């Protein structure tokens, strides 16, 4: 490291040490004093000095070490192109091999061809690659030039003003002034914002694809500035971490002249490539520039991988090298034998200058090297270049497929990895994320539970069904919604626009500098209107539940003390619940007009026209209704009677209410429900009258909510549906309009953001009316439930009520999860002033800390979020993407194993799996959840034994069936289907406890595997485990940043450019916008790419072996002298020109089966999975065929011209011609699609060969003395023998191959051949045949499952497992009576329950019929009277036992085995 920089750093530290020690306040003990200051390591920390003249020397010295802001994504320059490109190309062993042959041919003893001629193939190959690389690099150069020439306003210390500079001239330490809608040129630390609260809004779409706004804050201490920022007075020194690619983490501190330190983090860093929004002016200092910025460090460009075919090809090239050495060895030995047959040295054996002849050993060695040069074409030098060109063509066709284009998002497929297209056709395992990948990631508010009361929102469910069926436009759908919304008429005041304080957001939201993070801009930002994230019609328009809406209005009236009859001092739980939904978030409020204006100050409220007398009259009519509804039992069945649309779930919730009712009020609650129903009309009408008067003409309801996550937006829109409207938000205050029209402005004291560790977020506010300090918290139920206040021993009614609410809410959450909904719990906590002040001091210390800052902040958050009071919970639906079930079903038919790796709850994941056909209702599902290694191992062994037993039962049936009927292959006969569900804790035990082999052995036999509650690291570990241990081709697909490691671990990584940003896309090989595109990408393009490239590679090997063998056979007739019967130029051009184009066209355009047939018969994909086209056996057969054809092409002309007096080239010209025709006709036999390009290349190759030969033979008088090819082609074209040879030789050579093709199509035709025959039929007849094949297959696959044999086998297996030594001795269960076939399985033997000290192993099997009587409650399989012989230790016989029935659905035929941990 440079001494000058060391001295600058030393001087800076030394000056600090001279100063007086810092006086540390008692409230901030975590701050370092100067004496304890750490000596910085310049390899870990970066020191930034400001470029304002005050620290000029230090700035000059430090800046030399830091990168400038000029970026260069090109690989080469004008000077380095030639050496660098040649160096990269000679990394290929084939090029090194041919360079060695070129050098070898320059030695006279081994010269076979003219020295210049030997160089031509290598030069052509290198030149083709150079042209391609130069073209690509020049495009990058032009783009870099445009980026580097962009302008920004940078502070100039001489002029003391901001002047325009190019981006490339910006340096670390410069002050940069940014304006609204300007793109950030470097990573900048925010020091000033025109926003009065020190907030700057960013749009990170160019960086990660997210359209929602992010907030960045000015560094603490700079946020309260009454005047504009003056860079010349800035004297601080900045110390931060070294450049890295983590977009979510950044830490450092700023040391002031008085040695005080101010910490900062990622919330103060503006990243290069982002765009300033809603902020007029922002000023910052450059921290990282150019290639050291986080955006550039994340830009790795296209990924280069080695495909499976290339790995196979490299092995075959070594086989060809072995074959070449064998042939050369035969040649050298033959030359020795030939030479030894002469009694004297032959006249052509010339001695050296001393008269000595070469020894036989040395002569044989020279001949060995000569034969290598002669037979060098055996190694296909042009194969690599041809493969690159073919893959570029394949990528072009995939990219331009209109079926893979998302019109809504204006996104085509992106092919980021250019060299693994054929791997798409060989995938055996798919690992998929759930949220945003299988689902829309459009969060729709679906239902909620408040205070233990469940509200089903059936009206909203009907709206969603209407939306799904009609697919209405936004405007029409809004009109439709007008009739279902509650009758609240709200008009826009005339003074509304004048009272706003707007911050402009320009219409032109698209920046021009996104190319460094991804190759193509997102089309949804090309429109004139800037897109708002998470604001589609289906997400915004929530239809409220009528019962909940009425209760909300009553609670709101009571809380505001409008009624003279009901007096409440504090808001009800309903009010708190919806206030939490509206407040506990980071949503930015803006207007819906363009350009959008951020709402920071609420408008004044116009006084309502309602009078106290009017309220009195209304409440006289409402008195009885309100009282009966307010004080009726909280266990009313009417609350839960309509909670679920499914009939069985209705009964479940009603039953739960009655069971949990301590007051025995089921009957009375029904009466209350009837009374409620009878008074609905008058109650609703009167309340509507109140709210029409109270809210008339107050505020517009149209606000634009810009949220950071879809969950936040869904909850805010849900609160708005119940008239709790978020009106404005600043960092200090948030304003909510209540249902009666009142505006409440809460002071925001602290906001604790969401993180993946806490799995919750909180906001601390001061209530404007009660002045209470309230903490509103929302988060995952698995976390919030553990943070609730302990009700103690339930001595008081209030504590009993809290416990009852918690239990009922948990039950509702379980049913939400089983319906596939995402659940969130809402809670609150009231703090005293003293408690809050103590916590606030602790929080300030943590924020000011330099070391362990993140850990301290986490500790303060966890300290606050305890002893919460549960308000309720929400169920948000993440709808399945269109086409997901069909895509998964097709991939399953194609033989692809699909695993889902998700961080979601187990119940939610299982139900999504059933919805998308990942699991079938007839499957036996094993659920393994445990936290103990021994238990996990025992459960894996038991489950594996069960699965194996069922497979063994099925095997004799398949063999017998195959023996009787040969029409159905064994692979099509369905076996038992199993599913495996496992959680993250169990997965961690398996991965760390050495149980991987048992797990994989079980997973291989399962239809599908679901790994729930998985971390990103576990996802990648599972993918690597399967790929390495099972030696299979894997594909990983995801859409979020948490899927990046999984995507990179797969053989093929696919990112979905959804609503979670573009980080998954940037790490992927291919990027699609919808999961359904995976169907065509794999089944069609994957199949085509594999079939084309596999056949092309094999054809190249065949072509070269066939041609080079002609020279080898000739050696037997020329004394193994290394001579040839074909002209050198003809030999060189044979591979470079005459036979090069047809394989390229074939590899790009050939289609063995049409796309429609491939999609209709997914089984065709197995052709690539099994590598049926290109494997060792096909390679060997092709080599044997090449040897046979070369024999025919050589010896048929040899026999024709035997005993004639023609010269060598006259003998070689017919051989060269018939071999060309044979090789081209061989290619024609392989072609299944004939287009104009195919005809042109095949016929054109022959024409080019003839034209070249005629011209070359006419002008070459003495090209190759002593023998020359002058006028040979012209002479032979006039001889009938030549035409006869050109006709008969290819026929004889290709007859065996054609004969085998004919036999294969007649007897035992493969599925591919049947599909090709179907393609020849008319469309209508073809569709009928495909439908008949599918229906026959469906009938066959359904038959064995419907038979009782598998059920009996399962019963026997379960009975066998009862006596396992792992299980409790009391677990022996007698088999159920076989006579009870008409009953449900749960009625015959409703529960088998074994207890173990480490975990429970539950077997619960049922098969519900569609005709099940509604009186049979679904809880019969979940709540049963356990037999006395089945009680666990410490339990009495007959005690009520609970089994969690995972993924329960009505009308299913499902056998389920659940393995649950001890609780």
CB 1456 within 8 A of CB 924: yes
Is 754 within any annotated ligand binding site? yes
Q: CA-CA distance, 1037 to 1033, in Å (whole number)?
A: 14
Q: Which run of H or of E encompasses 517? A: none
Is 904 within any annotated ligand binding site? yes
pTM flag (> 0.95): no
Q: Please give the pLDDT value at position 644.
A: 38
C-alpha closest to that of 539 among 590, 601, 463, 626? 463
Pairing of strands 1423-1425, 1440-1442: antiparallel
C-alpha closest to that of 542 among 688, 444, 443? 444
Is 46 within any annotated ligand binding site? no
Q: How far is CA 82 from the centre of its chain?
A: 39
Is 903 within any annotated ligand binding site? yes
Q: CA-CA distance, 1091 to 1093, in Å (whole number)?
A: 6
Burial of 890 (0-12, 13-18, 19+ CB in 10 A): buried
Mapped onto helix, strand or coil, the DSSP state of residue 370 is helix
Q: CA-CA distance, 1205 to 1228, in Å (whole number)?
A: 35
Q: Please give the pLDDT value at position 20.
A: 35
Give, to the nearest 10 degrees, the angle between helix 853-864 and helix 833-848.
Answer: 170
Is 1194 within any annotated ligand binding site? no
Other CB atoms within 10 Å distance of the CB of residue 848: 21
DSSP-H helix ranges across 41-92: 56-63, 81-89
Is 712 within any annotated ligand binding site? yes
Q: Please give the pLDDT value at position 1069.
A: 86
Q: Work out the widest C-alpha separation in the chain, in whole angstroms.
A: 138
Is 1039 within any annotated ligand binding site? yes
Q: CA-CA distance, 1462 to 1401, in Å (whole number)?
A: 9
Q: CA-CA distance, 115 to 126, in Å (whole number)?
A: 18
Q: Is the dihedral of CA 668, 673, 677, 682 positive or negative?
A: positive
Phi, psi at residue 979, to the nearest 5°?
Answer: -125, 150
What tokens were used for 1355? 């019963």
Phi, psi at residue 267, to the nearest 5°?
Answer: -70, -10
HSE-up of 651 (CA within 13 Å, CB side)?
11
What tokens were used for 155? 């502070």
- Contacts for 712 with CB less than 8 Å, ≥ 6 apart: 534, 585, 586, 587
Q: CA-CA distance, 244 to 236, in Å (whole number)?
A: 23
Q: Please give the pLDDT value at position 41.
A: 63
Q: CA-CA distance, 204 to 183, in Å (whole number)?
A: 10
Q: CA-CA distance, 530 to 1085, in Å (whole number)?
A: 35
Q: With a cut of 50, list the residues of the chain below it in pLDDT.
A: 1-38, 469-530, 561-570, 606-612, 615-616, 618-686, 693-698, 794, 955-974, 1343-1463
What are all long-range contacts of 799-807, with beta carbons under 8 Å and residues at least 24 apart? Answer: 800/662, 801/634, 802/869, 802/870, 804/452, 804/634, 804/660, 804/662, 805/451, 805/452, 805/870, 806/870, 807/660
Pairing of strands 733-737, 725-729: antiparallel
Is 834 within any annotated ligand binding site? no
CB 1403 within 8 A of CB 1445: no
Is 434 within any annotated ligand binding site? yes
Q: Please give the pLDDT value at position 301.
A: 57
Is 657 within any annotated ligand binding site? no
Is 1103 within any annotated ligand binding site? no
Q: How far is CA 1199 from the centre of its chain?
A: 64
Q: How many residues does the chain have?
A: 1463
CB 942 within 8 A of CB 998: no
Is 822 within any annotated ligand binding site? yes
Pairing of strands 704-706, 588-590: antiparallel
Is 911 within any annotated ligand binding site? no
Pairing of strands 924-928, 978-983: parallel
Residues with catalytic function: 433
């Amino acid at each position: 490291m440079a001494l000058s920089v060391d001295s600058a750093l030393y001087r800076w530290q030394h000056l600090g040490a001279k100063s007086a020690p810092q006086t540390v306040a008692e409230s901030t003990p975590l701050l370092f004093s100067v004496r304890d200051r750490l000596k910085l390591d310049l390899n870990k920390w970066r020191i930034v000095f400001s470029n304002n003249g005050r620290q000029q020397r230090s700035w000059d010295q430090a800046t030399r070490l830091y990168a400038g802001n000029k970026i260069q994504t090109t690989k080469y320059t004008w000077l380095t192109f030639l050496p660098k490109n040649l160096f990269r190309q000679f990394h290929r062993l084939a090029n090194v091999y041919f360079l060695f042959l070129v050098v070898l041919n320059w030695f006279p003893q081994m010269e076979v061809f003219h020295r210049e001629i030997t160089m031509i193939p290598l030069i052509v190959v290198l030149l083709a690659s150079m042209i391609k690389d130069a073209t690509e690099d020049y495009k990058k150069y032009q783009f870099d030039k445009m980026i580097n020439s962009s302008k920004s306003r940078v502070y100039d210390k001489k002029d003391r003003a901001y002047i325009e500079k190019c981006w490339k001239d910006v340096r670390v330490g410069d002050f940069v002034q940014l304006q609204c809608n300007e793109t950030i040129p470097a990573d900048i630390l925010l020091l000033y914002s025109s926003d009065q609260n020190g907030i700057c809004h960013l749009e990170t779409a160019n960086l990660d694809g997210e359209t929602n706004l992010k907030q960045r804050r000015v560094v603490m201490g700079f946020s309260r500035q009454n005047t504009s920022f003056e860079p010349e007075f800035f004297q601080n020194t900045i110390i931060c971490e070294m450049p890295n690619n983590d977009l979510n983490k950044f830490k450092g501190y700023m040391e002031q002249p008085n040695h005080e330190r101010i910490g900062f983090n990622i919330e103060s860093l503006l990243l290069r490539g982002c765009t300033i929004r809603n902020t007029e002016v922002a000023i910052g200092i450059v921290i990282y520039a150019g290639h050291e910025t986080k955006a550039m460090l994340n830009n790795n460009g296209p990924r280069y991988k080695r495909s499976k075919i290339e790995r196979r090809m490299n092995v075959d090239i070594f086989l060809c090298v072995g074959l070449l050495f064998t042939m050369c060895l035969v040649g050298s030995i033959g030359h020795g034998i030939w030479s030894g047959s002469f009694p004297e040295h032959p006249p052509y054996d010339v001695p050296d200058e001393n008269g000595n002849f070469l020894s036989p050993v040395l002569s044989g060695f020279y001949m060995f090297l000569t034969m290598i040069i002669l037979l060098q074409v055996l190694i296909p030098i042009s194969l690599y270049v041809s493969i690159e060109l073919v893959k570029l063509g394949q990528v072009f066709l995939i990219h331009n497929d209109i079926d893979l284009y998302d019109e809504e998002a204006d996104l085509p497929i992106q092919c980021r990895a250019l060299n693994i297209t054929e791997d798409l056709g060989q995938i055996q395992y798919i690992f998929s994320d759930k949220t945003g990948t299988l689902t829309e990631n459009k969060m729709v508010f679906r239902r909620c539970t408040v205070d233990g009361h469940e509200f089903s929102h059936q009206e909203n469910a009907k709206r969603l069904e209407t939306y799904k069926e009609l697919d209405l436009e936004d405007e029409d759908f809004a009109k439709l919604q007008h009739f279902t919304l509650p009758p609240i008429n709200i008009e826009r005041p005339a003074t509304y626009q004048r009272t706003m304080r707007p911050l402009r957001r320009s219409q032109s939201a698209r920046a021009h500098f996104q190319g460094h993070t991804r190759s193509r801009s997102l089309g949804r930002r090309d429109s004139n209107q800037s897109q708002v994230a998470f604001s589609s019609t289906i997400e915004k328009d929530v239809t409220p539940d009528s019962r909940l809406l009425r209760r909300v209005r009553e609670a709101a009236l009571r809380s505001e003390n409008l009624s003279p009859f009901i007096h409440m001092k504090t808001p009800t739980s309903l009010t708190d619940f919806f206030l939490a939904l509206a407040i506990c978030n980071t949503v930015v409020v803006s207007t819906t007009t363009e350009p959008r204006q951020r709402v920071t100050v609420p408008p004044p409220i116009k006084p309502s026209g309602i009078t106290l007398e009017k309220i009195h009259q209304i409440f006289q009519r409402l008195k009885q209704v309100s009282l009966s509804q307010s004080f009726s039992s909280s266990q009313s069945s009417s609350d839960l009677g309509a909670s679920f649309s499914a009939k069985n779930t209705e009964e479940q919730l009603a039953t739960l209410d009655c069971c949990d009712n301590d007051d025995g009020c089921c009957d009375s609650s029904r009466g209350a429900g009837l009374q409620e129903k009878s008074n609905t009309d008058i109650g609703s009408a009167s309340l509507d009258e109140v709210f029409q008067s109270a809210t008339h003409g107050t505020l517009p309801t149209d606000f634009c909510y810009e949220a950071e996550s879809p969950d936040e937006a869904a909850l805010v829109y849900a609160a708005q549906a119940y008239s709790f409207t978020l009106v404005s938000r600043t960092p200090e205050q948030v304003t909510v309009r209540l249902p009666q029209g009142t505006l409440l402005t809460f002071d925001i004291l602290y906001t604790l953001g969401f993180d993946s560790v806490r799995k919750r977020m909180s906001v601390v506010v001061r209530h404007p009316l009660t002045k209470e300090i309230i903490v509103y918290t929302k988060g995952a139920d698995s976390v919030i439930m553990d943070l609730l206040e302990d009700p103690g021993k339930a001595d008081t009614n209030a504590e009993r009520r809290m416990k009852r609410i918690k239990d009922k809410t948990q039950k509702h959450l379980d049913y939400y999860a089983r319906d596939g909904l995402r659940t969130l719990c809402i809670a609150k906590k009231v703090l005293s002033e003293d408690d809050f002040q103590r916590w606030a001091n602790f929080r300030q210390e943590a924020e000011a800390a330099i070391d362990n800052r993140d850990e301290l902040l986490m500790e303060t958050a966890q300290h606050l979020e305890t002893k919460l009071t549960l308000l309720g919970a929400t169920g948000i639906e993440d709808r399945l993407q269109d086409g997901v079930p069909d895509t998964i079903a097709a991939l399953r038919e194609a033989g692809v194993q699909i695993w889902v790796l998700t961080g979601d709850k187990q119940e939610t994941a299982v139900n999504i799996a059933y919805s998308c056909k990942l699991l079938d209702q007839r499957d036996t599902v094993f659920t393994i959840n445990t936290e103990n290694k021994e238990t996990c191992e025992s459960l894996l062994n038991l489950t594996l034994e069960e699965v194996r037993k069922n497979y063994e039962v099925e095997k004799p049936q398949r063999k017998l069936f195959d023996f009787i009927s040969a029409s159905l292959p064994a692979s099509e006969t369905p076996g038992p289907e199993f599913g495996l569900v496992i959680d993250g804790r169990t997965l961690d035990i398996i991965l760390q406890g050495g149980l991987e082999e048992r797990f994989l052995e079980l997973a291989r036999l399962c239809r599908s595997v679901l790994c729930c509650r998985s971390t990103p690291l576990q996802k990648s570990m599972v993918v690597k485990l399967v790929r390495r241990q099972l030696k299979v081709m894997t594909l990983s697909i995801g859409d979020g940043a948490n899927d990046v490691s999984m995507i990179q671990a797969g053989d093929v990584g696919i990112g979905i450019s959804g609503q979670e940003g573009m980080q998954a896309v940037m790490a992927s090989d291919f990027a699609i916008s919808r999961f359904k595109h995976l169907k065509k990408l794999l089944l069609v393009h994957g199949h085509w790419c594999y079939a084309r490239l596999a056949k092309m590679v094999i054809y190249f090997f065949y072509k070269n072996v066939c041609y080079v063998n002609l020279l080898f056979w000739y050696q037997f007739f020329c004394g193994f002298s290394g001579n040839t019967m074909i002209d050198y130029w003809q030999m060189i051009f044979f591979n470079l020109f005459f036979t090069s184009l047809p394989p390229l066209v074939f590899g790009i355009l050939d289609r063995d089966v049409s796309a429609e047939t491939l999609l209709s018969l997914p089984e065709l994909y197995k052709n690539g999975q099994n590598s049926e086209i290109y494997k060792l056996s096909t390679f060997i057969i092709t080599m044997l065929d090449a040897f046979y054809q070369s024999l025919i092409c050589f010896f048929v002309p040899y026999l024709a011209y035997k005993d004639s007096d023609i010269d060598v080239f006259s003998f070689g010209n017919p051989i060269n011609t018939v071999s060309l025709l044979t090789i081209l006709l061989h290619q024609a036999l392989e072609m299944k699609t004939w287009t104009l390009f195919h005809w042109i290349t095949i016929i054109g190759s022959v024409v080019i060969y003839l034209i070249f030969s005629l011209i070359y033979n006419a002008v070459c008088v003495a090209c190759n003395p002593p023998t020359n090819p002058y006028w040979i082609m012209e002479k032979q074209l006039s001889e009938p023998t030549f035409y006869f040879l050109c006709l008969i030789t290819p026929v004889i050579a290709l007859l065996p191959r054609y004969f085998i093709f004919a036999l294969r199509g007649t007897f035992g035709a493969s599925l591919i051949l049947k599909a090709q025959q179907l393609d020849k039929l008319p469309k209508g007849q073809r569709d009928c045949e495909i439908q008949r094949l599918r229906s026959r297959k469906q009938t066959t696959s359904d038959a064995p499952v419907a038979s009782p044999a598998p059920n009996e086998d399962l019963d026997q297996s379960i009975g066998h497992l009862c006596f396992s030594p792992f299980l409790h001795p009391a677990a022996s269960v007698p088999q159920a009576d076989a006579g009870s076939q008409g009953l449900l399985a749960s009625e015959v033997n409703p529960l088998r329950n074994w207890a173990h000290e480490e975990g429970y192993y539950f077997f619960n099997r049922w098969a519900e019929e569609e005709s099940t009587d509604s009186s049979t409650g679904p809880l019969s399989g979940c709540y049963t009277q356990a037999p006395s012989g089945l009680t666990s230790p410490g339990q009495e016989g007959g005690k009520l036992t609970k089994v969690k029935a995972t993924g329960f659905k009505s009308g299913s035929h499902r056998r389920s085995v659940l393995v649950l941990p001890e609780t």
